[in-house]
Amino acid sequence: MTNEMALSLIVLIPLLGALCNGFLLRSASVVWVCAVSTLAIALPFGLATYLFFTASLSNQVVSVSLFPWISVPFVDGSVFTLSYALTLDRLSVLFALIITGVGSLIHLYSGGYMSHEPRVYRFFAYLNLFIFSMLTLVLGSNMLVTFVGWEGVGVCSYLLIGYWYEDDANSMAAIKAFVVNRVGDVGFLLAMFFSFQLFHTLTYSEIATFVTQAPAGFFATHATVLTCLGLSLLLAVAGKSAQIPLYTWLPDAMAGPTPVSALIHAATMVTAGIYLMTRTSFLLVVSPVTMTTIACVGAATALFSATIGLAQTDIKRVLAYSTCSQLGYMVLACGVGLFQYGVAHVMIHAFFKACLFLGAGSVIYALHHEQDIRHMGGLFKKMPVTAVTFLLATLAIIGFPGFSGFFSKDAILAAAWTGPFGHPAFWFVGVITAGLTAFYMVRLTYLVFFGECRAHHPEQIHENHLGMTLPLIILAVLSVIGGAVALPEIWTGHSDVISEFLSPVLQPAQQVLAKVQAGHGAHLSPAAEGGLMGASVAVVLLCAIFAISVYRTGIDGAQKFTARIPALYALVRDKWRIDELYQCMIVAPLARLGEFFYSIIDRHVIEGAVNGFPEVLYAATSVSSDAQSGIVRSYLKLIFVGIVVFGVVLFI
C-alpha cells in the first residue's frame, strides 16, 4: 500500500463507518454498532501509526489530492485553483494519532456506557462522523479543507451535545455551542480572506514558502493586515478552543453523554485551535501585538476558569472548567512563541483528560446518572479500577512531579518566562493557575473517592465491566508516561523530543521570527529554571495538601472559609455570572432586535407584500366573476346592448 493511499483511507474509513452505522445498522444491536464504529477508528489509527514510522520519522511529507475543488478564472487571465487535498506532516500525524488513538478507546468505552440507550446507532454514526471531520481538519492541505473539518466538528458537536434532545436544556446547550462556535468561524473566514488578499493562496505550504522568501520590508508594509489576520485567527481559536470571551459554550456542552465530553470537549475538538495556531505559526509570529494578545487571552482563560472550577459541585462541570483552564495553558504556550509545548500539552492533556472524563462517566454510570459530587464519596473501595485510574490522571493534571502533566506544564511555565514573547507575569499567572488546579482537582478526587459514602444507594454501586475499564487503564498508563516527550533540557542535556519532532513544522516560524527580529525572550540559567520548577511544584503540593486538609472533614469543610466571603463565594459558584452578563449584554438586545424584525419587518413588510399580491388579484378578479351571475336573461340583455353598441359604431 502506498503512503498516499493510506492517507486517503485514514480520512475515508471513518466516513464509511458513519454511513454504515447511519444507514445499514439501524436495527443492529449495540455490540455490532460499537464493533463496526470502533473498527472504523482503530483501522485509521493503525494506518496513522504505519505512516508515522514509514514517513514522518524520516520527515517525509505525504500529500494526496483527492479531487480538484474550486477553479476561479480572474479578469487578468490567471486562474485560482484549489484542490481537496490532504497533507500529512509531523504536526498532523501527531494529531491524527491522538484523535484516532484516544478516539478508538472512547468508542470502545461508549459501547458500555451507551448500552441501554435506544437507537444507539445514531450516537455511533455521529461519533464516526466527528472523527472524520476532525481528521479532515488536521489533515487538510489548505485553509478551506481545514474549514470543512472545522465546521464538521462544530456540527457533530451540536448533534452530540443535543443527543438527548427530548430535554429542552440539552437542546439549548447544543444551540449555544453551535452559535458561539459560529462567532469563532467568522474569525476563520476573515483570516482566509486576509491571507488570500496577501498571498493569493490558501495552501499552508505555499503561504509558508511565501513568507519565508518575502523580503523583510513586506512585513513592515503589511503590518496592519498581518495583525488583523492574526487576531482573526485568534477569534477562530477562541471559539473552537473555548477561550475568553467565547468559552461559555464548553461547560454547557457537558449536557451531552459523557463519552462525548471526553472525546470532543476534552481530547480532540477543543484542541483544533491549538492545531490551527501551530499550523499558521509563521503568520502569527510576525505580529508581536497578535502574539501578546494570544498569550494574554490564554493566561486569562487559564486563571479565570480555574477560579470557577473551585466552587462547582457537578463532577463534569469541574472537569469542563479544568479543560478551559488547560486549554488556556496551551494557548499561552502558543502565544509566547513555543508552539511545540502547546502541542505536547494537547497530547498529554488528551490522555489524562480523556481518562478523567471516562472515569467520571464510569462513576456516573455506576451511580445511575448522579453527577453531583455531594452525593458521591468513598467510592475507592467499591470501584477500585476507576478510582486508581482517576487518581493517576488527577496527579497528571495537577503536575505532580514525575507524571506527564508535570513535564508539559513545566515546559509551558518555563516557556511563559523565556519564550520569544514571554514575560515573567505569564509565569506568575501560570503558577497561580497550577495551584488552583491542584486545589480543585484534589478536592474533586477526594470528595468522589474518599471519605464516607453519601450516595443514595451505596449497596448498588459496583465496578463496571472490562469494556469500560480497559480504556481507563490504557489512558491512565499513557497519562503517567506521556511526559517523556517533554523531558526538560536541564535534566537530559539535550532538547526535548517534542521540540525535535516538530522542528520542521515550526521551521518557517523560526525563519520569519529571525527576519522580523521580534520577540526576545529572557534567557535563564539552568539553576534559575530549576528554581522556577521547584517553586511551581511547591505551590502545587501546598495547594493539594491544603485541599485535603479542608475536605478531610467532608463536603462542608470549606464552609469556614466561604462563610467569611459569602458574596465572593456566590459569585464564583455562579461562574462569575458571565452567562448572565452575556444574556443581558448580547443575547437580550439581539432577541429584541429579532423581535423588532419579526413584528415589524417580517409581519408587515414581507408578509404584507407576499399576502398583498394575491389579495389585489382576488379583488380584481371578483369584479369580473360577479358579472358571471348565471342569470340567462341578464346575459341576453348584455348581448343586446353589445349588438346595439356594435351596430351604432358600425353605422356611424
Partner 1 sequence: MVSLPEMGIYFSLLLFLVGLFGVMMRKNIIFMMLSVEVMLNSANLAFVSASAATNTIDGQVSMFFVMAVAACEAGVGLAMIIALYRARATLEVDELRILRG
630 binds partner 1, rule: CB under 8 A: yes
644 binds partner 1, rule: CB under 8 A: no
Indicate the residue among 224 and 629 with the shorter CB distance to partner 1.
629
553 binds partner 1, rule: CB under 8 A: no
Rounded CA gap, 436 and 328, in Å?
14
Q: Looking at this protein, which amino acid is placed at residue 514?
A: A
Please, what is the minimum distance in Å from the beta carbon of residue 635 to partner 1? 9
Please, what is the minimum distance in Å from the beta carbon of residue 652 to partner 1? 20
Residue 155 DSSP code: H
636 binds partner 1, rule: CB under 8 A: yes
Please, what is the minimum distance in Å from the beta carbon of residue 615 to partner 1? 19
623 binds partner 1, rule: CB under 8 A: no
| Interface region with partner 1, contact rule CB under 8 A, candidates 62-70, 197-205, 467-475, 622-630 | 622-630
A 10 A CB-CB count for 410 gives: 24
Among 637, 645, 646, 647, binds partner 1 (CB under 8 A): 637
Residue holding cell 513592515? 220
Indicate the residue among 27 and 622 with the shorter CB distance to partner 1.
622
367 neighbors 461 (Cβ within 8 angstroms): yes
DSSP string, 167-203: SHHHHHHHHHHHHHHHHHHHHHHHHHHHHHHHHS--B
Residue 520 DSSP code: -
26 binds partner 1, rule: CB under 8 A: no
Indicate the residue among 610 and 619 with the shorter CB distance to partner 1.
619
Residue holding cell 511551581? 536
Please, what is the minimum distance in Å from the beta carbon of residue 645 to partner 1? 15
629 binds partner 1, rule: CB under 8 A: yes
* Interactions with partner 1, residue window 571-610 (CB under 8 A): none
| Interface region with partner 1, contact rule CB under 8 A, candidates 7-15, 525-533, 575-583, 632-640 | 632-640
Among 79, 627, 648, 649, binds partner 1 (CB under 8 A): 627
Residue 554 DSSP code: -
Please, what is the minimum distance in Å from the beta carbon of residue 628 to partner 1? 3
523 binds partner 1, rule: CB under 8 A: no
Largest Cα separation within the chain, whole Å, is 123
Indicate the residue among 118 and 630 with the shorter CB distance to partner 1.
630
Among 168, 626, 650, 651, binds partner 1 (CB under 8 A): 626
Looking at the DSSP assignment, which residues form a beta bridge with residue 71?
81
**Count of residues in contact with partner 1, rule CB under 8 A:** 12
| Interface region with partner 1, contact rule CB under 8 A, candidates 53-61, 265-273, 602-610, 631-639 | 631-639
DSSP string, 462-517: ----HHHHHHHHHHHHHHHHGGGGG--HHHHSS--HHHHHHHHHHHHHHHHHHHHT
- Buried b / exposed e across 560-570, counting CB within 10 Å, b at 16+? eeeeeeeeebe
Please, what is the minimum distance in Å from the beta carbon of residue 640 to partner 1? 6
Please, what is the minimum distance in Å from the beta carbon of residue 618 to partner 1? 13
628 binds partner 1, rule: CB under 8 A: yes
341 neighbors 405 (Cβ within 8 angstroms): no
| Interface region with partner 1, contact rule CB under 8 A, candidates 146-154, 191-199, 322-330, 619-627 | 619-627
Indicate the residue among 462 and 633 with the shorter CB distance to partner 1.
633
Among 633, 650, 651, 652, binds partner 1 (CB under 8 A): 633
| Interface region with partner 1, contact rule CB under 8 A, candidates 222-230, 283-291, 337-345, 635-643 | 635-643
Nearest to 88 by CA among 78, 79, 77, 99: 99
Residue 367: phi and psi, rounded to 5, are -95, 15
| Interface region with partner 1, contact rule CB under 8 A, candidates 198-206, 389-397, 560-568, 621-629 | 621-629
Cell of 294: 494570544
Indicate the residue among 523 and 633 with the shorter CB distance to partner 1.
633
Q: Looking at this protein, which amino acid is placed at residue 365?
A: Y
Indicate the residue among 5 and 644 with the shorter CB distance to partner 1.
644
Exposed (0-12), middle (13-18) or buried (19+): which is 58, by Cβ within 10 Å? exposed
193 binds partner 1, rule: CB under 8 A: no
DSSP string, 527-550: HHHHHHHHHHHHHHHHHHHHHHHH
Rounded CA gap, 590 and 579, in Å?
15
Indicate the residue among 1 and 627 with the shorter CB distance to partner 1.
627
Please, what is the minimum distance in Å from the beta carbon of residue 612 to partner 1? 24
Crossing angle of helices 272-279 and 143-161, in 10° steps, is 170
Among 1, 563, 616, 631, binds partner 1 (CB under 8 A): 631
User: In 3-state terms, the chain is what percent helix, strand and coil (to 5)?
Assistant: 75, 5, 20
Please, what is the minimum distance in Å from the beta carbon of residue 584 to partner 1? 59
Residue holding cell 489524562? 352
Please, what is the minimum distance in Å from the beta carbon of residue 613 to partner 1? 22
Indicate the residue among 599 and 625 with the shorter CB distance to partner 1.
625
Residue holding cell 520519522? 57
Indicate the residue among 605 and 641 with the shorter CB distance to partner 1.
641
| Interface region with partner 1, contact rule CB under 8 A, candidates 118-126, 299-307, 476-484, 625-633 | 625-633
Rounded CA gap, 396 and 347, in Å?
12
Rounded CA gap, 121 and 21, in Å?
6
625 binds partner 1, rule: CB under 8 A: yes
Looking at the DSSP assignment, which residues form a beta bridge with residue 87?
63
452 neighbors 378 (Cβ within 8 angstroms): yes
Cell of 553: 472533614
Instruction: Kindly list the residues in this chain that would bind partner 1 in the complex (CB under 8 A).
Output: 625-633, 636-637, 640
